[in-house]
Structure 1
Amino acid sequence: MDQSGGRGVAVVVEDDDLIREVIEVTLQQAGFTVHPAATGAQGVALVKAHKPVVTTVDVSLPDIDGFEVVRRLRTFSETVVVMLTARVDEIDTLMGLESGADEYVTKPFRPRELRARIDALLRRSGHLVPTPATAEEGPAPGPDGGDGRLEVDTARRTVRLGGEPVHLTRTEFVLLAALHDARGRPVPKGDLARLLWPDEHGYGGDVTEADRRTVEVHMANVRRKLGDSPTSPRFIHTVRGLGYRFENV
């Protein structure tokens, strides 16, 4: 049994010694007992052994890359995963989120920013949303959605399309639920970013273009899992220059 800090266990998967130490200290100060790993395989083993609440994973590792690490974690763990990388290409962000990560932070980052993003994730991690490991079970709904309606149960934190479960990450569910609860009103991307990261933006902090792009990537994943075409959507409509609007007709 782990002698955990007040907030439980964290695993840090990072091959750069200095960055790994910074993340380790940041998480220890946040109340976690931290287990560091310098390789992907070691990180997977530590997650299996210690069942952490949160895991940070660097994309560039000496053995297997971070995307593969996250895919392996999602076969057995619901740990909150934050990917860290010096890459800024949108395709890398998309790959990270599609592999099952909950958040994607680019280097260089401020320890305070990393801690705020992890805190925001953990506040929503109690939601009982099925993990991405089961996202491929059963046939995906087609773009026309068949004759099934989309059911978003914010109390149970579940989503069903035509009676079949739709498996979303915690972040994806939070965004979909926000649109659903707006009852047809457009929701700006900035408001969605503030919802995801309230510690950063709740006191007048500016929403950055990177924040908006991250919201867009998460929303693209939601659309894909709903079988919703961006050009001819049933559920999530883009409001140009503003954000998104939800319909369920």
Structure 2
Amino acid sequence: MSTPASPRILLVEDDEVIREATQLALERYGFPVDTAGDGLEGLERFRAAPPDLLLLDVMLPLLDGVGLCRRIREESQLPILMMSARTEPIDVISGLEAGADDYVVKPFEIAVLVARIRTVLRRTGFGPTATAAAAATAPGNSVRVIDDLEVDTDAMEVKVAGRPVPLTPTELRLLLEFTAAPGVLMERQVLLERVWDYSWGADSRVVDVHVQRLRAKIGATRIETVRGFGYKLRRTT
């Protein structure tokens, strides 16, 4: 894996012109970039040399972006940013449900893409790390216990009924926000700012799908929806 100063990106894009233009632009910003032209090649390159971030198009031949994202999530928690010219809710949600951390809509300005990449990398280990962010807000006891849910904010480990639960860095940051204030309403915009580092208006569906993914891992009833506002963590007993 590359050093924090030069995180390496795997770009999977079937359009040769877009692929080459995006690669050159990202390299001008200092990112080493490997490329693949279809989903299966992308999977092979990921397995041969795991990158620091995966940037993939939704519409790919042989294995589409959603399928590729899902396959990689079975093997790794590396940050994934999806690109798509399709903005229908079902396309966005499908990518996020497959395990993507965020998405960007094509066509995009390269500065916008770079900002999204840096934000994802920052909250998953490049720049202030997830561990450092947690330590800054953690109470004196590093283990937060809510019913049978345990969150060790030093080791960055989560257990449910004693069983380890693997979370992506984004899911972990989201859970840290909830466990820091059980029973307190967390508005979607607040979560976007604290977890995704978005101080501007962003798509709240990102929050909704990540909450859905988190529920699937720690228990469906543990996070309560406050309709029209956001979510809160509640005790199950």
The 1:69–1:187 alpha-carbon spacing in structure 2 relative to 1, beyond 3 Å, is: same
CA distance in 1, matches of 2:26, 2:193: 22
CA distance in 1, matches of 2:185, 2:50: 39
Q: CA deviation at 1:242?
A: 1.8
The corresponding residue for 1:237 is 224
The 1:96–1:212 alpha-carbon spacing in structure 2 relative to 1, beyond 3 Å, is: same
Any idea what the Cα deviations from partners look like across 1:172-192, whole Å, max 9, x if unmatched? 111121111123221110011
The corresponding residue for 2:119 is 120
Q: CA deviation at 1:157?
A: 1.8
The corresponding residue for 2:12 is 13
- Matched residue of 2:204: which SS? helix
The corresponding residue for 2:177 is 178
Amino acid at match of 1:25: L
The 1:18–1:220 alpha-carbon spacing in structure 2 relative to 1, beyond 3 Å, is: same
CA distance in 1, matches of 2:184, 2:75: 38
Q: CA deviation at 1:215?
A: 0.8
Q: CA deviation at 1:163?
A: 1.1
Any idea what the Cα deviations from partners look like across 1:192-249, whole Å, max 9, x if unmatched? 1112332x41xxx3x23xx211111111111122231xxxx3x212223221111234
RMSD, aligned CA: 2.6
The corresponding residue for 1:133 is none
Give the paired residue count.
218
Q: CA deviation at 1:76?
A: 4.1
Any idea what the Cα deviations from partners look like across 1:14-54, whole Å, max 9, x if unmatched? 01233323432342133221112211122222223332111
CA distance in 2, matches of 1:156, 1:117: 27
The corresponding residue for 2:85 is 86
- Work out whether residues 22 and 111 of structure 1, in 8 Å CA contact, stay in contact via their aligned partners in 2: no
Q: CA deviation at 1:56?
A: 0.7
CA distance in 2, matches of 1:153, 1:5: 25
The corresponding residue for 2:219 is 227
CA distance in 2, matches of 1:72, 1:236: 27
CA distance in 2, matches of 1:243, 1:5: 34
Any idea what the Cα deviations from partners look like across 1:70-89, whole Å, max 9, x if unmatched? 23333444432111112223
CA distance in 2, matches of 1:181, 1:164: 21
Correspondence 1:246 to 2:228: no
The 1:242–1:165 alpha-carbon spacing in structure 2 relative to 1, beyond 3 Å, is: same
Amino acid at match of 1:242: F
- Work out whether residues 77 and 168 of structure 2, in 8 Å CA contact, stay in contact via their aligned partners in 1: no
The 1:215–1:49 alpha-carbon spacing in structure 2 relative to 1, beyond 3 Å, is: same
How high is the TM-score relative to the length of structure 2? 0.80
- Matched residue of 1:69: which SS? helix
CA distance in 2, matches of 1:167, 1:5: 23
Structure 1, unaligned runs of 5 or more: 129-147
Amino acid at match of 1:11: L
CA distance in 1, matches of 2:44, 2:8: 14
Correspondence 1:214 to 2:201: no
- Structure 1 stretch displaced more, 60-69 or 20-29: 20-29
CA distance in 2, matches of 1:69, 1:162: 31
How high is the TM-score relative to the length of structure 1? 0.76
Correspondence 1:31 to 2:30: yes
The corresponding residue for 1:168 is 167
